[in-house]
Structure 1
């Protein structure tokens, strides 16, 4: 079996995880709530504008910061957005764990099923 076939197999296995299922459900809930979707879009746009201004060495005025902080507060209490962020974080942790195991194997420190609970790649 080729490396790309193994990668496809891994992708399929990841798609079937609980973390991926929860993330897809959270994405659907977010997509089906126009208010939450609008809010997260506005937040991401505002965040990007502030980040671009900072990277360009520009000052951000207090009105822009206040508007951003208000958006952030709304995002922090929106249940759909928070569920999406939490699901995304759990899935990213799973991907990081998989990446750690791949890196461990590449270094020649193979992870066996007998020691998997205690190895650094799996924890």
Structure 2
């Protein structure tokens, strides 16, 4: 019984290539989820924009503000994750570290976008 538990608890060793592939897969899934949420949040912002028309005193519409925010965030995310990957620069883990960062920050942004779409 104890031997069976020990064997079940021991995870098989994984190669760096397998870990890197998994990190890339995780990032692509996070990015797809963020894009779905971005479209939903943009639709919400477009609806909110109809309630308060922008003018010189108020500033840009909700929609244009979200677009500018998303573009700036994408630049930040990509630069930040390049820095995190550089910890392993030239090594086999560089790509994995970058992809893990991309997935982590993208999931956090998805949560932010979800919160923005909550009607107040």
| TM-score, normalised by the number of residues in structure 1 | 0.32
| TM-score, normalised by the number of residues in structure 2 | 0.33
